[in-house]
Structure 1
Amino acid sequence: MTKELARRIAVTIGALLLFRLGAHVLLPGLRPGDWLTGSPLVAGAITRLSIVALHLVPYLSAAIIVQLIAMVWGRLSSLERSGERGRRRIARYTLILTLVIASFQAYGIASTLTTIPNVVPVPDDWFVLSATASMVGGVFLLVWLSELITRHGIGNGLALVLSVSILVHVPGDVAGILELLRSGQISGNLALTHAVFWIVLVALVVFVEGARRNVRVEFAERKVGERTLPARSAVLPIKINSAGYLVPTTVAPWFLFLPLAFLTYIFGADALWIAAAYKQLQLGSLGHVIIGSVAVFVLAFIYTSYVVDPEHTAESLAKQGGAIPGVAPGEATADYLDRVVSLTTVVGAVYLTALQLIPEIFEPYGIGLPYSMVINGGAVLIVVCTILDLLNQVRDLSLTNPGGERR
């Protein structure tokens, strides 16, 4: 292990320890004994109200909204691709939107706490202000820690913080399942079936995330400055899952509930057909399964078309003297890449939809175990991808000299 790698690992561990420490610091104005007279459900919820209670949700929401705007507004999209200066402006817009979303969510939580008996000793405006400021500050603390890990740690700090927040629930879930086994409330075959299922799922995620559709590219001999680059062959790798997980699965529920929220505002929540529609769109219901699956599938295509732009790729290849054998440069290359990406995305979209359906299948049919709400197919995807990226980062840092040159 090189000194540089050891330093980066130390920075990463320190940042993650700060994150976990913040998760145990209660909001100002709350004391552990104040809610002991309440129900266990209320007590359990309140004990999770730390200064980082909002986690990275406002930041991720802001980033997704900015990306969606960039997909339909060419000026913002071009700004994102204009270089480091443009990316800094995008990051600034994202942080401003994060502040707005976090403030709104934090104020809502703080205001609600003042209405629950035996929770806040002095439920006044000062508590609401201090709790709101603490939660908003917690969000920006996590954003800063994520950026610290990305710049000075082992990289990909956002995914690493998300993965740690998921993994901390695993020991408690395992302990709960073992207790149910000991008391005879579930069978050993059910627990074994779940264990095999998650092992197979992890293997599938590793396989799909590592899979690539390689398009062969030939580069002609060309002169760059005083250097002459010889003709060479290369491949253009296209991921099976180019859309990732967060954008399709985060935006998909908007297709379910935003129209209902709009109709509720117009017709009122007392309308019988509104109540029936909400019932038919609950987790595990047929309506939720069908609409949610179609939304994730379609969004995977839409977001992939934004991430992998065939026209931009074809233009870049032409500028660098590259061509796909048997395909004319320019529009023909863009059309060929569009077909390849579309066919590849079909597999990726089915894969994402299947991961999103795991909790929907487990719960309604009585084959679920008492996992925490964060343990699902998406959590497996996030953790596995983070670990794979972590291994690549560590390997690259191990093969890099202090001057930045590979050995």
Structure 2
Amino acid sequence: MLETIKKAAKEKEVRKRFYFTILMLVVYRLGNNIPIPFIDTQALANAYQNIEGTLVDYLNMLTGGGLSTLSIFALGIQPYITSSIVMQLLTVVIPRLEELSREGEQGRRQIQRYTRYVTIALAIFQAVAITNGLYGAALSNATLFQKIVMNIVLIGGTMLVTWMGETITEKGLGNGTSLIIFMGIIASFPKTIARWKTGVHYNTTSLLAIAIMALIIVAIVVAVVFISEGERKIPIQYAKRVVGRKMYGGQSTHIPIKVNMSGVMPIVFASAVLAIPSTISLFFGGNGKGSVMTFFNDTTFGFILYLIIQSVLILVFAYFYNQIQFNTVEYAKQLQQNGGFVPGIRSGKPTSEFLANVSTKITFIGSIALALLTIIPSIASRLLSLDISFGGSSVIIVVGVIIETIKQLEAMMTMKQYKGFLNR
């Protein structure tokens, strides 16, 4: 990894992409420290203090702390992620969207346009929920005009963050959406460390509990790297064929099927879906005794139910992404057209069924591993009575984003070598 970074640093194009990515992320962090107009910061701080420690903390972490200060980026990129989930599900259900997805770049741009429309609708919903629900009491003195301006700024901030994410993906390094979430998560780490330090100072937090949690986090990092690199190689043999005076084929290769083919996206999407009930409860203040967030956070049954739902969602999205990324029917068709076959398996439908069977088993193993790695830190923090602002999902996202970015760097360097070879 370090060797790849050293080589990449010498390439002008890679440096430009790196600087652009850093610039966008710096702008994002600055925006998280700029409050929206017409707010009373002290009343806002008091209102957030009353709900701190609930699932709102998790939403706040995903927005890089913007929700607690009601910054211009308070909604973060969550509306866009939720919109992407909706559009991908609709692509499977609505034939017209499925046709657009197969029309190449033009079709994808049209779907992207629809995704932005849905993002705006969700941003409007969440902005109204925050200004009239979560912080309704703190903003009770605001006039109608001031409330409208607040909502417009919040919605505009979301669209700006969405544009930044898409632009990073196009002109920077890595997946822009994942990197923005990554920045929000790592921004919460110092806060957690400060809490632990304060707890140790006042003897409310055990050093042993911190050491155990640190070991768990290290183990999760190692496990995530292991899962990300794990793959099943399906051997492929190409039949020999004569074209004119030349003979083609006869070589052997393989299809690599990753244990975790979808990366961190199942966890990101599961987090977005789990945020929906919390967002709806914001309309009602989000901090009542009977609120959704209080139920999931303060009751044992609610906590267990939350972990079960989170695990199921990770499994569902892992299989969903697997179906999108690895089309076994298309693979089998391409192999048949090019004279390739899996040894011992007939071409066509039997090959497709074989690949689907292997992919299903591997995806099951990978998704179960992701689910376990996600819930273990949450269970450990509850048993150890250790306050953390991040969970297993956050650690997995951070490690996964780093791995994906490094892999993109490696791919860019490989392409650079090929270009240099062809230009000789």
Q: State the TM-score, normalizing by the size of structure 1.
A: 0.82
**Are 1:88 and 2:105 an aligned pair?**
no
Map 1:137-156 → 2, pairs under 5 A: 137-156=156-175
1:176 and 1:155 map into 2 onto residues whose CA distance is 32
Match of 2:364, SS state, is helix
**Are 1:332 and 2:350 an aligned pair?**
yes
Match of 1:238, SS state, is strand
Match of 1:116, SS state, is coil
1:136 aligned residue (155, 177, 183): 155
**Are 1:367 and 2:384 an aligned pair?**
yes
2:25 is aligned to 16
CA deviation map 1:48-69 (0-9, x unaligned): 2111100010000000111112
Q: CA deviation at 1:182?
A: 2.6
1:201 aligned residue (212, 215, 220): 220
1:14 and 1:251 map into 2 onto residues whose CA distance is 29
Match of 2:150, SS state, is helix
Q: For structure 2, list consecutive stretches of 5 or more residues without a partner in the other structure.
A: 1-9, 53-64, 281-293
Map 1:296-315 → 2, pairs under 5 A: 296-315=314-333
Q: For structure 1, list consecutive stretches of 5 or more residues without a partner in the other structure.
A: 262-274
Give the root-mean-square deviation of aligned CA atoms. 3.6
1:69 is aligned to 90
1:385 and 1:157 map into 2 onto residues whose CA distance is 13
1:125 aligned residue (141, 144, 147): 144
Code of the residue aligned with 1:62 in structure 2: it is S
| Residues 239, 339 of structure 2: 8 Å contact kept | yes
1:387 is aligned to 402
Shift in alpha-carbon separation, 1:151–1:223, aligned structure 2, 3 A: farther
Between structures 1 and 2, the one with greater helix share:
2
Q: CA deviation at 1:14?
A: 0.6
Code of the residue aligned with 2:41 in structure 1: it is P
Match of 2:34, SS state, is coil
Deviates more, 1:329-338 or 1:142-151: 142-151
CA deviation map 1:65-110 (0-9, x unaligned): 1111223334423422331111111111111110111111112222
1:381 and 1:31 map into 2 onto residues whose CA distance is 36
Q: State the TM-score, normalizing by the size of structure 2.
A: 0.79
Map 1:183-332 → 2, pairs under 5 A: 183-220=202-239, 230-247=249-266, 250=269, 283-285=302-304, 287-290=305-308, 292-332=310-350
1:347 and 1:68 map into 2 onto residues whose CA distance is 23
**Are 1:109 and 2:126 an aligned pair?**
no
Shift in alpha-carbon separation, 1:318–1:74, aligned structure 2, 3 A: farther
Match of 1:284, SS state, is helix
2:184 is aligned to 165
2:271 and 2:186 map into 1 onto residues whose CA distance is 25
Q: CA deviation at 1:395?
A: 3.3
Q: CA deviation at 1:194?
A: 0.8
CA deviation map 1:249-298 (0-9, x unaligned): 7459979998xx9xxxxxxxxxxxxx99999895423x444455445435
Shift in alpha-carbon separation, 1:78–1:212, aligned structure 2, 3 A: farther
1:265 is aligned to none
Aligned residues: 387
Shift in alpha-carbon separation, 1:228–1:284, aligned structure 2, 3 A: same
| Residues 146, 161 of structure 1: 8 Å contact kept | yes
1:329 and 1:90 map into 2 onto residues whose CA distance is 34
Match of 1:328, SS state, is coil
Q: CA deviation at 1:140?
A: 1.2
1:126 and 1:231 map into 2 onto residues whose CA distance is 73
1:184 and 1:177 map into 2 onto residues whose CA distance is 10
| Residues 234, 342 of structure 2: 8 Å contact kept | yes
Match of 1:242, SS state, is coil
CA deviation map 1:117-153 (0-9, x unaligned): 4x46x51121121111111111111111112211221
2:245 and 2:161 map into 1 onto residues whose CA distance is 47
- Ranked by relative contact order (alpha carbons within 8 Å, sequence separation 6 or more), the top structure is 2
2:299 and 2:266 map into 1 onto residues whose CA distance is 24
Match of 2:220, SS state, is helix
Q: CA deviation at 1:37?
A: 7.2
1:288 and 1:34 map into 2 onto residues whose CA distance is 31
Code of the residue aligned with 1:361 in structure 2: it is I
Q: CA deviation at 1:403?
A: 10
Shift in alpha-carbon separation, 1:77–1:321, aligned structure 2, 3 A: farther
1:253 and 1:12 map into 2 onto residues whose CA distance is 24
| Residues 19, 142 of structure 1: 8 Å contact kept | yes
